Structure 1
Amino acid sequence: MDFEPVLTSLMEIAQTVPRSGLLIGTIAALFLGWIGALMLRNKVAGGRLIRTLSTLALVGILLAVLVQVARFDPRLDAFTEIGMPEQRIEGGETVIPMSPDGHFWLKADVNGTPMRFLVDTGATLTAFSADAASAAGLEPRTGGLPVRISTANGTVTADLTTVESLRLGNIEARGIDAVIAPNLGRTNVLGMNFLSRLDGWRVENGELILNPGLPVTE
């Protein structure tokens, strides 16, 4: 068994916890466990119950962090659907509820291949990981020059490609530009070049609402 992916994911979890509100819960659960241990040592009633509650809380926090990390890591696909709200169509609009991690995630078919996207209004172009591009049959444009993209980790090189069909809810976009950027990581990003084709989009009550200006699918 190759333990490197597992170790990498555990390192990402360790880096995620300090930057989230879950850190407070972790500290509280550890403190509760310490109190329970003291009560058991001094034979105080209820110590075992407190220790059990502390353990259950820590397990719950670990699962919550794992689910959040899994959203960005296809190696943990078994966890990606946990807690993911379902997108739906209402009154001709596609509605995407905010996920518990504070992001908008959606499911779309790319050239007939289902995959998951992070909606990023700060991204100019839609971007695919190398694995996702391969699965959808996306290839760099013939004779095209690589483009440079600025990210939080610096400037990376990406190849331009064309998506024949990107379909979600009651919306289908054809012939949109995108980039294949292995250095961006394993997350696919739906950028403004897709959102700008819509008649409009808005966020209301924790939901992203897409009003199609694109061909409406049946």
Structure 2
Amino acid sequence: MDPQSAFDAIAEVIRAIPRSGLLAGTIAALLLGWIGALMLRNKIAGGRLVRTVSTLALVGILTTVFLQLARFDPRLDAVTQIGMAEQRIVGEETLVPMAADGHYWVVAEVNGVPTRFLIDTGATLTALSGEAAARAGLEPRTGGLPVMLSTANGTVTAELTTLGNLSFGNIAAEGLDAVIAPNLGNTNVLGMNFLSRLEGWRVENGDLILDPGTAAES
């Protein structure tokens, strides 16, 4: 990652702290550091320990926010893939552990190309970034009408395509409708049109459990 990208990522982490639930923790850690500095200045025992605890708390907060944001930034894939929980087959089901950012991520093969997806039950359609679609050799449907998608940033235009094959764990789906949506950024999404092909899905103990049955094979 080049220095400018690193600077941008750090700046985004700092800007994200006030928007997260970690603001109170950040303020508390800063206050603790100030108390530790006063204790050291007045030669009160334990001041250095208090300063150390404050520093560790701030580092932990910055790391947490960084990892949450980095999941959506392809420039940081090499970092975020380290220690990322992987889906696994348990009996006849595929189990997807919740990631540290509170989301469910899978690495699926799209037409044989490994592609990282966010599983989003609030999304109607499966969507791929322009980059991911190009890697998988996906093209917009000839003569197809553009699809208008509502996002937090307004309405964007996407083009329909068809995934010849998508598979991960013990799940395989063929001929799945999807959209190529470069304006959505670089996050690929598995939506309800994929989940509806499954026999069922549920969340247990924080894990997303997918039951393929026979519906996901066609």
Find the counterpart in structure 2 of residue 88 from structure 1.
Answer: 88
* Distance in 2 separating the partners of 1:11 and 1:180: 29
Q: C-alpha distance in 2, partners of 1:34/1:134? A: 52
How far apart are residue 69 of structure 1 and its match? 0.7
Distance (whole Å) between structure 1 residues aligned to residue 108 and residue 211 of structure 2: 16
For the pair 1:199 / 2:199, whether they are aligned, the reply is: yes
What TM-score comes out, normalization by structure 2 length?
0.91
Q: CA deviation at 1:52?
A: 1.8
**What is the letter of the counterpart of residue 137 of structure 2?**
G
Identity percentage of aligned residues: 70
C-alpha displacement of 1:11: 4.0
Distance across 2 between alignment mates of 1:87 and 1:3: 33
User: What residue number does 2:57 align with?
Assistant: 57
Q: CA deviation at 1:196?
A: 0.7
- Show the 5 A alignment for 1:20-169: 20-169=20-169
Residue by residue over 1:160-188, the C-alpha shift from the partner in whole angstroms, topping out at 9 and shown as x without a partner, is 11111111100111111111111111111
The C-alpha deviation readout for 1:106-141, integer Å capped at 9, x for no partner, is: 111111111211111111110011111112111111
Aligned partner of 1:215 in structure 2 is 217
Letter in 2 for 1:89: I
Counterpart residue identity of residue 154, structure 2: G
One-letter amino acid of the counterpart of residue 164, structure 1: G
Cα distance in 2 for residues equivalent to 1:4 and 1:175: 40
Bigger mean CA deviation after superposition, 187-196 or 58-67: 58-67
Match of 1:188 in 2: 188
Change beyond 3 A, Cα 1:80–1:92: same
For the residues of structure 2 that align with 1:82 and 1:67, how far apart are their CA atoms? 11
* Structure 2: gaps spanning 5 or more residues: none
Q: Report the TM-score, using the length of structure 1 for normalisation.
A: 0.91
The offset of 1:215, in angstroms, is 2.5
Moved more, 174-183 or 142-151: 142-151
Asked if 2 retains the 8 angstrom alpha-carbon contact of 1:83 and 1:99, the reply is no
3-state SS of paired residue (2:209): strand
| Matched position secondary structure for 1:14 | helix
- Cα 1:11–1:144 change in 2 (3 A) is farther
**Aligned partner of residue 217 in structure 2, secondary structure:** coil
The one-letter amino acid paired with 1:5 is S
Choose 117-126 or 6-15, whichever is displaced more.
6-15
In the alignment, the residues of structure 2 paired with residue 211 and residue 80 of structure 1 have an alpha-carbon distance, to the nearest angstrom, of 27
Secondary structure in structure 2 of the residue aligned to 1:214: helix
Report the Cα offset of residue 31 of structure 1. 1.1
Measure the CA separation in 2 of the matches of 1:77 and 1:30: 31
**RMSD (Å) for aligned C-alpha atoms:** 1.9
Question: 1: CA distance between counterparts of 2:76 and 2:87?
Answer: 21
Are the equivalent residues in 2 in contact too, given 1:83–1:100 (CA < 8 A)?
no
- Counterpart secondary structure, 2:216: coil
Q: In the aligned structure 2, how far is the partner of 1:2 from the partner of 1:96?
A: 32
SS class of match (2:81): coil
